[in-house]
Amino acid sequence: MLFVPNGGNDFAVTASYSASRPGTTTFGSPLTSSAISTANNYGAQYIPVGGALQNDSYGMVINVNNNFVGATFRQLALQFSVDYTGGTNFSTGNVIISGLLGSQAINYQLGGGLWYYFPLFIPSGSRLGVTGRGSTTAAPIPGIAVKFLTSPSNPSMVKRGAFVETIGLTLGAGTVTGVSVTPSTAVNEPNTWTLIGTTTNRLWSWQVGCQHSDTTMTLLNYHVDIGVGTSTTVVEPILTDQFVETSATEQFTTIPVVGGVEKVVPAGSQIYARVHNAGTNENAGSFQVVVYGTGG
């Protein structure tokens, strides 16, 4: 299920869950209620994700799972910080990802969850921690699992990022909101793009997150594209055909997209998204998109 980018390099993989069997519901590090805030801030407690890294990491695949309840719009945004001494001092000054969507993530056994890839450099001896904010601290307990790509055979050839910029996310007290994008139900690929936001930094690697502000979803497949442009009709695609599946019990599933997500975009660029739907659209305005660009 994991595609490891090569680019003339061989990588080793270090998993945050290396001592665990594959999970059925929550898998990886459990994001307990003490690490989730429903106020205008992230949880005061960070949960460690694995131990201290034994080798430099040049990228990580993040899995978010088990964050759904039927007939509920269960919202969650995650923040990741690094303790560069290998302990549990995860400060806001060392945040590398903020606002990563974990809303409505299916449990690990049913569909694997939500997947993201970020080519971030984390030096050996460091430890990753995660906290969250969202609509509830009630059960079920979400899980966070991470694969770190380490020990490349040719480190000088590996492009590495230092931070992730989040585009199109609005956070409130107990609310997590993306930009509403109306999916196309046309037979052919849609040509209508929705503006997600404008970049603040120069960015070069891309991921997309989605959620559905609906308490009565149905079983549907979607493809999500993101692009850069100057208007809704002058857009160059960056990431195409991100697979998203929703279920009749308000669950979201995605697959990891690693290859073909690199494109250098200057600061001040407009980022767009479009969505293609396999069925009939649900409540108007309920499908939401957030875009993540790695920079540095």
Q: List beta partners, residue 293.
A: 165, 206
Distance CA 247, CA 241 (A): 19
pLDDT at 42: 97
Quote the Cα angle for 57-62-65, to 5°. Answer: 155
pLDDT tens digits along 171-225: 999 999 999 999 999 988 888 999 999 999 999 999 999 999 999 999 999 999 9
pTM score of the predicted model: 0.95
Do the strands 36-37 and 127-134 form a parallel or antiparallel pair, or are they unpaired? parallel
Q: Which of 51, 58, 88 is nearest to 148 (CA)?
A: 58
pLDDT at 284: 80
pLDDT at 2: 46
Domain ranges of the chain: 12-295
* Torsion angle of the four alpha carbons 176, 36, 214, 280, in this order, in degrees rounded to the nearest 10: 80
Weakly modelled stretches of the chain, pLDDT under 70: 1-8
